[in-house]
């Protein structure tokens, strides 16, 4: 299934587009995100790409990490912003993760407001029952989806002391046991629990840790998992990105892990329901 995100980012999924959010919300968001420093793993596709595009539009400084250099170059050209740093690394590689952190920290001049651990792998090329899953797929899923966010968080937290937020993108597969999603699900469940422990331990430094399930989206990861998925059943990653940007700006978090329906309802109520002020 072909879904060209790069074509879409400049069409209807820019935040400044009036059809998405009322003007007052956009202004509040600009006030909030202006000059914020955000490090996003996997900003070259899917959810990460739309987060990047919209945060740049709102005046944030964004550093993104991804493996495919050609794709990263395309994103860089298309977004064309001095506030964007693209880093061509595999977050699963412990030899280079310090380089990722130091290039980003230099770009941000030592201050990070948000780390969004978004890049993720299914583990192997295709989904399989656990008994058919090579151990290496489990190891790979744990390395990219849990250990890499852990490493990066350790490296970035010193630049957040006093105020900062670690956002871990999780999945409903972390709580529901779907057959054949073993490697991925196990890693996301571990990510959830790591988030809970981080939230407790980091609170004394005034740093938050939150896990978000974004819901099912029309992205490469989803089509890799379910090649014949029906596109109209899936959320647009641009919509999800906008909602997440609004939710984070509200800074009213009362749990460590948010199911998709839960945090999205908060956003809808705030923006279209009661008219509550966002930021």
Partner 1 sequence: MLEESREGRGVWNGTGGCLSYNVQIQHNSRLNDVGTNLLMVKNGRIGTASLRDLPFILNKKSTLVLNNAMTLPAMFMGKLAGQKIELRLVSNLNSDFRTFNRWYGILLDGNTDWRTRTEFRTVELNHASSSTIQFSDGCGIKITDQIRKSLWEVTINPSNEHPTALDVIFSHGQFIQYSHLTHELQPWDVQSIVFTIPAALEPPSSHFQLTWQLLSELREKGHNIVYITHGSGVSDLGYPELDHFLPFPELYRVGKDAATMLNESVDTSYQIVAIGTSVTRALEHNFNINQQFNEGIFLATNRLSSKNQAKVVEAMLTGMHLPNTSHYDLMRGFLPDQMVHQSFKYAKANNFRWHEYGDLTLVFNHFKTRKSF
Ligand X SMILES: NC(=O)c1ccc[n+]([C@@H]2O[C@H](COP(=O)([O-])OP(=O)(O)OC[C@H]3O[C@@H](n4cnc5c(N)ncnc54)[C@H](OP(=O)(O)O)[C@@H]3O)[C@@H](O)[C@H]2O)c1
Interface characters, 172-211, with ligand X (x: CB under 6 A): ----------------------------------------
Following DSSP, what letter does each residue of 214-248 receive, concatenated? Answer: ---BSSHHHHHH-TT--GGGSB-HHHHHHHHHHHH
Can you read off the two tokens belonging to residue 65? Answer: 């990490």
CA–CA gap between residue 211 and residue 118 (Å, rounded): 10
Shortest distance (Å) from residue 90 CB to partner 1: 15
CA–CA gap between residue 119 and residue 41 (Å, rounded): 5
109 lies in the binding site for partner 1 (CB under 8 A): yes
Which listed option, ligand X, partner 1, none, makes contact with residue 154 (CB within 5 to 8 Å by class)? partner 1
41 lies in the binding site for ligand X (CB under 6 A): yes
35, 74, 94, 136: which one binds partner 1 (CB under 8 A): 94
121 lies in the binding site for ligand X (CB under 6 A): yes
Asked if residues 77 and 10 have their Cβ atoms less than 8 Å apart, the reply is no
- Residues 6+ away with beta carbon under 8 Å from 237: 5, 46, 47, 49, 50, 214, 217, 218, 219
139 lies in the binding site for ligand X (CB under 6 A): no
71 lies in the binding site for partner 1 (CB under 8 A): no
Which listed option, partner 1, ligand X, none, makes contact with residue 48 (CB within 5 to 8 Å by class)? ligand X
15, 51, 65, 270: which one binds ligand X (CB under 6 A): 65
**Strands of 114-117's sheet in order across:** 84-88, 61-66, 37-41, 114-117, 164-169, 207-212, 257-258
Shortest distance (Å) from residue 137 CB to partner 1: 22
Cα distance from N-terminal residue to C-terminal residue, the chain: 37
Among residues 195, 205, 232, 216, the alpha carbon closest in space to that of 264 is found at 216
98 lies in the binding site for partner 1 (CB under 8 A): yes
206 lies in the binding site for partner 1 (CB under 8 A): no
Q: Which residues bind partner 1 (CB under 8 A)?
A: 94-99, 101-103, 105-106, 109-111, 154-155, 158-159, 204
Q: Which residues bind ligand X (CB under 6 A)?
A: 41-48, 65-68, 71, 90-92, 118-121, 144, 169, 171, 214, 216-217, 219-222, 237
């Amino acid at each position: 299934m072909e879904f060209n995100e790069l074509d879409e980012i400049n069409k209807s999924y820019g935040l400044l587009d009036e059809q998405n959010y009322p003007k007052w919300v956009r202004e509040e968001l600009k006030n909030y995100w202006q000059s914020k420093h955000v490090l996003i793993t996997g900003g070259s596709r899917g959810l990460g790409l739309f987060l990047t595009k919209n945060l740049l539009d709102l005046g944030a400084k964004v550093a993104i990490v991804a493996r495919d250099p050609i794709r990263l170059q395309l994103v860089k050209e298309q977004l064309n912003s001095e506030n964007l740093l693209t880093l061509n690394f595999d977050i699963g590689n412990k030899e280079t993760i310090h380089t990722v952190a130091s290039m980003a920290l230099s770009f941000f001049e030592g201050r990070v407001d948000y780390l969004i651990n978004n890049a993720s792998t299914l583990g192997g090329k295709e989904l399989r029952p656990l008994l058919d899953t090579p151990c290496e797929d489990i190891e790979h899923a744990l390395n990219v989806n849990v250990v890499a966010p852990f490493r990066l968080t350790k490296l970035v937290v010193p630049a957040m002391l006093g105020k900062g937020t670690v956002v871990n993108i999780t999945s409903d597969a972390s709580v529901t046991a779907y057959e054949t999603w073993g490697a991925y699900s196990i890693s996301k469940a571990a990510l959830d629990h790591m988030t809970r422990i981080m939230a407790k331990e980091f609170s004394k430094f005034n740093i938050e840790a939150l896990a978000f399930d974004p819901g099912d989206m029309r992205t490469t990861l989803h089509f890799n998992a379910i090649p014949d998925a029906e596109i109209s059943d899936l959320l647009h990653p641009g919509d999800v990105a906008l909602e997440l940007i609004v939710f984070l700006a509200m800074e009213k978090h009362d749990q460590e892990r948010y199911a998709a329906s839960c945090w999205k309802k908060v956003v809808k109520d705030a923006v279209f329901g009661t008219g509550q002020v966002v930021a």
